[in-house]
Amino acid sequence: MKPVRALTLSSVLAALSVLLLFLGSLFDVTDLAAVMIASLFVTLVVIECRGAWPWLLYIVVSVLSFLLFPGRFVSLEYALFGGIWPILKYWLERLPRLPSFLLKLLVGNGLALGAAWLGLKFFGLEVPASVWLKAAAVVLWEAVFLLYDLLLTRLIILWCVKYRARFRRLFR
């Protein structure tokens, strides 16, 4: 894709991402869903533009979300997980299947652990007192992460098979 078109696409998707993150920050229940939907925009830029464009989109949205709505955990979730995951996924899935799966689990859990730790230290998140609730939270995170990764893979396939040709004709 030509640089001007890549810049245009990245800019529009950055604005949409910031808007989605803002809407997700209004209610505590919608923040993770907004982050995951905003990460789809990074995925589109990874597929269509490649190079530095996904990184630039990720950095711009992360900085803007921290500047526009400070004190919101959604900014941290995007910066430490949702925005970077599609870029890391692209590189990790170039490896053979088993090492790719294990590294994705390791990196995904590391990113979530970092976000949770920063959330506890700086954003006032509370830790459940019960060991069972902590274990349930970890199991729930694993399920959500694996489902998110699987759905992201399926959406990438759907985009490449069904919608990419239409999109390319539009951006000729």
Taking the model in full, what pTM does it have? Answer: 0.86
Tens-place pLDDT, residues 38-67? 999 999 999 999 889 999 999 999 999 999
Tens-place pLDDT, residues 61-103? 999 999 998 767 888 889 988 899 999 999 999 999 999 999 9
Q: Which domain holds residue 136?
A: 3-170
Between CA 110 and CA 127 the distance in angstroms is: 18
* Domain containing residue 12: CATH number: 1.10.1760
Q: How many domains does the chain have?
A: 1
